[in-house]
Amino acid sequence: MLQITCPWCGPRDETEFSYGGQAGVAYPAQPAELSDEQWAQFVFFRENPKGRFAERWMHAQGCRRWFDTVRDTATNDFLP
């Protein structure tokens, strides 16, 4: 089981958290002007690197706050 460190609550088991996807994905500035293909790109297509990856997590069973963190996808280690 992974140990994830919540910035507010400290280290907790992964079962307390909800994964929120790739961090740093900006919402479209003019969403009404996007085509269906552009919406599909925004909603469904994300990077999938091997190595360091910025992610969003929510401490669902604790403080319920969202935070960004970096995880190594090859080892599942969370990095400072």
pLDDT digits (tens, 9 = 90+) for 29-65: 999 999 999 999 999 999 899 999 999 999 999 999 9
Kindly list the structural domains of the chain, giving each domain's residue range(s) and its CATH number in brackets, ordered by start.
Answer: 3-24+34-79 (3.30.2270.10)
- Is residue 1 scored above 90 in pLDDT? no
pTM: 0.85
User: Given pLDDT bands bounded at 50, 70 and 90, which one contains residue 4?
Assistant: very high
Q: Which two tokens stand for residue 55?
A: 């992610």
- 7-26 pLDDT, tens per residue? 999 999 999 999 999 999 99
Cα–chain center distance at 45: 14
Distances (CA, A) of 66 to 31, 36, 57: 23, 29, 6
